[in-house]
Structure 1
Amino acid sequence: MHAVRATRILLAVMCVSLGSVVFVTGCGTSGQTPQSLTGVADQESESSAAEISGVEGSESDADQDQTERVTYQSGMEIGAIPMPFEVADVTGPNKGKTLCYRCLYGERPVVGIFVRELDEPTTALIQKIDSEVAAHQDEKLAAFVVMLTDTPAEVKTELEKIASKNQIAHIPFTVFEGTAGPLGYNIKQDASLNVMMWEGVVKANRAWQAGQLKPDEISEVIADTRLMIH
């Protein structure tokens, strides 16, 4: 009888002890493990967000390094190969000659400035590009102005005056007969100014209708020029 009672008491003590162990272990598991997983998830989420933010920041920085996008489209596509065409030279060392500047400049970095009129903003742009050409002779930067006209004889004197008045010494003024422009250059009829830059292939292209060129856009063209040679 005493033996039976002792056995029951022992079993009760063991059950209580085992229950305590399970309870403690269970609390440890249900309390700590989810917190740890949540912490890892939070860290991974924060890390992913930081990586995404970093990528977006890098893209934003890259965008800031580039010049503004072009809104008015005219001229050749980026990557296109400029074809040869002849012009009548009005100023510079080749004055009075008919020649192909696309051929003459070859694979050098070139700024082709195609105009239908020379208002003050356009002339200011040409002056700045002239300064860039002067400053980057070691990089062999070259440029030329092409007046697109159906009456070449009538504009030559005016071009000479503009070049002289504005002291444009490193960019020749030339005339192309025909307002449509050279074959393959895709200059729109309502484009007053089309600036295309190439070095073998077209690297940059900007165009404006009459009266649309703004001072900040002149700065963007100069930035294009510097990006091309660096």
Structure 2
Amino acid sequence: MCVSLGSVVFVTGCGTSGQTPQSLTGVADQESESSAAEKSGVGGSESDADQDQTERVTYQSGMEIGAIPMPFEVADVTGPNKGKTLCYRCLYGERPVVGIFVRELDEPTTALIQKIDSEVAAHQAEKLAAFVVMLTDTPAEVKTELEKIASKNQIEHIPFTVFEGTAGPLGYNIKQDASLNVMMWEGVVKANRAWQAGQLKPDEISEVIADTRLMIH
């Protein structure tokens, strides 16, 4: 009797006892080839996962992948360094870092910061770090509001800071119409995503979180 399941034919009582049917041999060969390809990197399943997650982003702002972030100073508003002027790029050094540059803090942006805060808490062993940089021409006027937002949303692992000047730090290439620019680096830039006002969607938040896997494993 021969029973067909799709393209695979199981043969019983057809005079082929002790031999592997050719159709099954083909499937086994394909599986072996597929397994070998995965192990050797052919087919790209592993290498694709390691590729930069921002290749499909249409709105471009910020540093290019592979660029080296330059030092810059900010005024710290929350966290252990509250009240100090310092360089987080220098402080964090070669650690995996998420730099969150904002010109406004709407609900989706705040939700993203909350998610990244949770990631930082979960990856202390990998020394993942992050900081928020508010780009503004009036830093004194926004500090109180930033403190309120951090407290209300229980942001505990990401300091909120202000940078004087809406253009942003030299070399970071943040477009003037970018409301949010998230850049991740570990010595060099690993990922970069940016949005204009009101463009950040909930599903894109999970994509940003996935980008951290380019730095932590």
Q: Which TM bucket (shorter chain)?
A: 0.7 to 0.9
| Distance in 2 of aligned mates of 1:181 and 1:18 | 62
Give how far 1:66 is off. Answer: 5.0
Between 39-48 and 107-116, the greater mean CA deviation after superposition: 39-48
Q: TM-score, with normalisation over the residues of structure 2? A: 0.78
| Distance in 1 of aligned mates of 2:98 and 2:8 | 84
Q: Is the 8 A contact 2:54 2:191 kept in 1?
A: no
Distance 1:65 1:85, change over 3 A: closer
Give how far 1:124 is off. Answer: 0.1
Distance 1:172 1:16, change over 3 A: closer
Distance 1:96 1:68, change over 3 A: same
Between 37-46 and 186-195, the greater mean CA deviation after superposition: 37-46
| Distance in 2 of aligned mates of 1:89 and 1:17 | 69
Match of 2:142 among 143, 152, 155: 155
Give how far 1:69 is off. Answer: 1.8
Q: Which residue is 1:8 aligned to?
A: none
Distance 1:27 1:208, change over 3 A: closer
Relative to its length, the structure with more helix (as a share) is: 1
Q: Deviations over 1:79-107 (max 9, x none)?
A: 00000000000000000000000000000
Q: TM-score, with normalisation over the residues of structure 1? A: 0.74
Q: Is the 8 A contact 1:67 1:223 kept in 2?
A: no
| Distance in 2 of aligned mates of 1:168 and 1:85 | 23
Between 214-223 and 19-28, the greater mean CA deviation after superposition: 19-28
Distance 1:171 1:55, change over 3 A: same
Give how far 1:71 is off. Answer: 1.2
Q: Is the 8 A contact 1:68 1:220 kept in 2?
A: no
Give how far 1:175 is off. Answer: 0.1
Relative to its length, the structure with more strand (as a share) is: 2
Give how far 1:226 is off. Answer: 2.4
Give how far 1:225 is off. Answer: 1.0
Q: Deviations over 1:37-77 (max 9, x none)?
A: 99999999999999999966859975999567211100000
Q: Which residue is 1:169 aligned to?
A: 156
Match of 1:93 among 68, 80, 89: 80
Dislocated runs of 4+, deviation >4 Å? 14-68
Between 128-137 and 55-64, the greater mean CA deviation after superposition: 55-64
Percent of residue pairs identical: 98
Q: CA RMSD in A?
A: 10.0
Q: Is the 8 A contact 2:190 2:214 kept in 1?
A: no
Which is higher, the Rg of structure 1 or of structure 2? 1
| Distance in 2 of aligned mates of 1:217 and 1:53 | 32
Give how far 1:227 is off. Answer: 2.9
| Distance in 2 of aligned mates of 1:67 and 1:191 | 16
Q: Deviations over 1:114-140 (max 9, x none)?
A: 000000000000000000000000000
